[in-house]
Structure 1
Amino acid sequence: MSSAGNPYHDAQAESFMKTLKVEQVYLAGYEDFQDVVSHLPQFIDQVYNATRLHSALSYVPPNEFEDQLAQQAA
């Protein structure tokens, strides 16, 4: 955790929220909160964690990165 007043304190969370809004929320046209509850977890599991490339992980999806770590540990 960074010190108080550090502008990079919430950088990861802010980046995720921007991606979530731009790639899902603004495009989906949700009707109500139940619509959000049923669709956002699918986006996170099936797109963000499974297929979307992440620069902090050497441009591989998080699921693939975790698989690589597990293979290295074995």
Structure 2
Amino acid sequence: YDNAVAEAFFATLKTEIGTTIWPTRHQARHDLYRYLHYYNHNRLHSTLGHRTPHETRTNYSHQQAA
């Protein structure tokens, strides 16, 4: 399997939140989930036609229902 998509995501993650050392696992998890929410609901992706993954998934679901 081609893992280029996963590698690209982790490269973006490291670039955008850095290589911070968090004081607790809870804080690290909190920051990661906050970033994932941003990534899926606010960050535009050029490969998705400059839409968010959430918009793309929602539009796909509505098209399948019709």
- TM-score interval, smaller chain: 0.7 to 0.9
Q: Would you say how many aligned residue pairs link Structure 1 and Structure 2? A: 65
% of aligned pairs identical?
31
Output the aligned Cα RMSD. 1.9
Secondary structure, counterpart of 1:49 in structure 2: helix
- TM-score if structure 2 supplies the norm length? 0.78
Report matched runs for 1:27-46 at 5 Å: 30-45=22-37
Equivalent residue for 1:59, pick from 35, 46, 50: 50
Q: Which position in structure 1 is the counterpart of 2:60?
A: 69
Secondary structure, counterpart of 2:41 in structure 1: coil
Higher helix fraction (1 or 2): 2
Q: Which has the larger radius of gyration?
A: 1
Unpaired runs of at least 5, structure 1:
2-8
